[in-house]
Structure 1
C-alpha cells in the first residue's frame, strides 16, 4: 500500500487518544512502520499531553494534538475533526489503534468518504475469558497495534524499535544532574491510577529505605499532583540521595533525559514502565490485580523482572480498576519489600 492508483504519495491517519501508557506503546510500532514505508505520510492524532511525548520522530510522521475536551469535544467534535483531517492532510487510510466511540465516529466519517479503515482487535471476549481464567493469555498490545498496519498492506516490521535517540545525542535537562562515576541510579514510579495496581505506600517506603542505605545508590521518585507530591516529600527530606521529581515542573524530555542515565526503573503496571522501555531501561515491574499476560508488559522488557505472587484470583482485572473480591489486596500485600529490592540489586549489581 505504499502508493495509490494515481501514484500519489499516500497519507495514513493513526488515532490513539488515551491513556498515556497506551499512547507510549504506539511508539515502538509506529516509528518502525514509518521508517519501513518512507513513501507514505503518517499523521498521528492524540491528546495534547501525550503528543508532547512524541519526540525523535521519523521524518514522515506528523503529530497532531487534539483538544477532545474543548474544540473537538463529543461526537460532533469528532465528526468535525475527521472532516478537518481528511481535508488538510488528504487522508486515504486510517489505522485506528484505539477502537472506542470517539474513533468509531472518525472511522465512520472516513468510510463514508471512501477512506480505507483498519481497526485494532481488542480481543474483548478473550480478555473476559482471561479474568475468568478460561484462557492463559491475550495477544500483547504492541503486536495488536502492528497487525493494524499490516492489514492496511503496509510494511510492519516486528520488534524493530531499539530506543529513542538511538545513535543520537541524548536529551539534556537542567533538572537532571551529572552522574558520578560508580553511581547507580534508580528511578521509582510508585503510583497508578487504580488501587489494584499500586503497591502500598508504606511498603514502598521500606523499599526506598533499603535502597537509600546502599552505597552509591541514588533514587529519583517520579510522580505528579498534590497527593503524590505529599506522599513523596518525606522521603526526599529523610534521605540525601532521594530526589522527588514531583516537586519540580518537568516535561517528557526531562524524564527521558533522566531515564537515559538510570540503571533501572521500578514501576507499577503504569505509564512510566512504558516510558522507561522507550529508553531501553530495564524495568522491575510490580503486578497485583493485573498480570503481564494481560498484554501490557513493557516493550522488550523481561518477565523475569516482574515481581508478583501466584494467586488463583489473578488476574482479576485487565486494567486494575475493580475492587478486591477478598477486600485485602493480597496480590500486592504479599509482595515483600525484600522481593522488590532483590530484583533491583540483581540488575544494578549491589
Structure 2
C-alpha cells in the first residue's frame, strides 16, 4: 500500500547526506521538495565537515550538524556522538539520501538503542527503512534514486535544479570581480577545466579549453572565466598561460558559493565531470559537460539546461580504473565540436 507522508503529522525531519560534494549539492534539489511538502516542519541536515560551508545561513535548516565518521571520529566515540545527536532530535521522519551500508548500520544502531524514528526513507530496499523506492534500471542518476525515494512516501518532487543559499557577502564578492574585470551579465563564458587530482583522466585538457576560448572570442564572447579549487591550480594556470588574452583565471580566488552568482552572470558553462559543476548548476544556466571516462547518464549536474558531449568508443566509461596512454575519449572531442554543440544549444 502506498504511503502519503504529507497527510501525517511530521514536525521534525532529519536528512542524511554525507558525500561526495556533487551528490550533496544534488541532494538540495529534493531537500527543496521536502521543504515545500512540509513547510512548518524543522529540517535538520547531517553531512560531513567539508560540506557544512555549503549551507551557512541556509534558513531551510533548523541546524546542520557534522560528525566525521569517515575521518577523525570514525571510532566508537564518533558513533556514540552521532547517536546522541540523532536521539536528541526526536525526529518523526529520516530521509537517508546516503543509504550506504554505513548509514544503514548507524540507523539500525539507533533503532536498537530504543529511539525508533517512525518513518524511515532510504534509497534501497533494506532494513531499517520502512519506506522504500521501486527498483530502478541501471545505470541510473543519483537524482532519480533520490526522487524515487521521496515519491515512495507520497512526496512530490518538482524542483528542477539544486538550490543553494547565496549570502549577501557572496554577491558582493562577485560584483567586485565583475567590476574589476569589466564583465557584463551574459557577456562571458565560464570554464571548469579541472577535477580532483585522482580523476585526472576526466579532464578535457587545458589546450582544448584554451582553443575554445579563442574560438568564442571570434564569436563575440571575449572573456572566459576559469574556476577551480586547490587540486586544479596547475591545470587552470596552464590554461590561462595558453590563452592570456581571452581568459581570466579565478582559480583559488573565489569561495565555493561565489560560483553560483558568477554562473548566474555567465552566458553558459563548459565543464568537466567535476564537483564544482554541480554547484554551478544551482544558477540554472546553460551548461555543457565534456564526458569520456564517466557516463553522463550517471554524472551530469541536475538541470533542464544541462547537456553532455561524448564520443562513442569501445573503451568509454572506463571510470579511470586503468592507465590510459591515449585518452581518446577526451582528445577526440575537438574545440570545434564543442563550439558546434554550444551553437545547437542556442548560446553561441
TM-score (norm 1): 0.79
> Residues 17 and 46 of structure 2 are in contact (CA less than 8 Å); yes or no, is this contact kept in structure 1?
yes
Q: What do you get for the CA RMSD once the two structures are aligned?
A: 3.3
Aligned twin of 1:322: 321
Q: 1:212 to 1:65 in 2, by over 3 A?
A: farther
Aligned twin of 2:247: 242
Are residues 1:92 and 2:92 paired? yes
Aligned pairs for 1:177-326 (under 5 A) are: 177-178=178-179, 180=183, 184-193=187-196, 194-212=199-217, 214-225=219-230, 228-236=232-240, 238-248=243-253, 250-293=254-297, 295-302=298-305, 305-316=307-318, 320-323=319-322
Higher mean Cα deviation, 283-292 or 338-347? 338-347
C-alpha distance in 2, partners of 1:60/1:165? 11
Q: 1:196 to 1:240 in 2, by over 3 A?
A: closer
Aligned pairs for 1:325-340 (under 5 A) are: 327-340=325-338
CA drift at 1:136: 8.2
Q: 1:195 to 1:13 in 2, by over 3 A?
A: same
> Residues 72 and 81 of structure 1 are in contact (CA less than 8 Å); yes or no, is this contact kept in structure 2?
no
Kindly provide the CA deviation profile for residues 107-140 of structure 1, in whole angstroms up to 9, marking residues without a partner as x: 1122222224322139xxxxxxxxxxxx985333
C-alpha distance in 1, partners of 2:105/2:87? 13
CA drift at 1:266: 0.7
C-alpha distance in 2, partners of 1:292/1:159? 20
Aligned pairs for 1:40-189 (under 5 A) are: 40-54=41-55, 57=58, 59=60, 61-68=62-69, 72-74=73-75, 76-87=77-88, 89-112=89-112, 113-115=115-117, 116-121=119-124, 137-151=138-152, 153=153, 155-159=155-159, 171-173=171-173, 175-178=176-179, 180=183, 184-189=187-192
Instruction: Give structure 1 regions of 4+ aligned residues with deviation exceeding 6 angstroms.
Output: none
> Residues 208 and 335 of structure 2 are in contact (CA less than 8 Å); yes or no, is this contact kept in structure 1?
yes
Aligned partner of residue 98 in structure 2, secondary structure:
coil
Aligned twin of 1:131: none
| Structure 1: 5+ residue stretches without partners | 123-134
Aligned twin of 1:34: 35
CA drift at 1:164: 5.1
Aligned partner of residue 117 in structure 1, secondary structure:
strand
> Residues 313 and 329 of structure 2 are in contact (CA less than 8 Å); yes or no, is this contact kept in structure 1?
yes
Q: 1:215 to 1:283 in 2, by over 3 A?
A: same
| Structure 2: 5+ residue stretches without partners | 126-135
Aligned partner of residue 63 in structure 1, secondary structure:
strand
CA drift at 1:204: 2.9
C-alpha distance in 2, partners of 1:95/1:183? 38
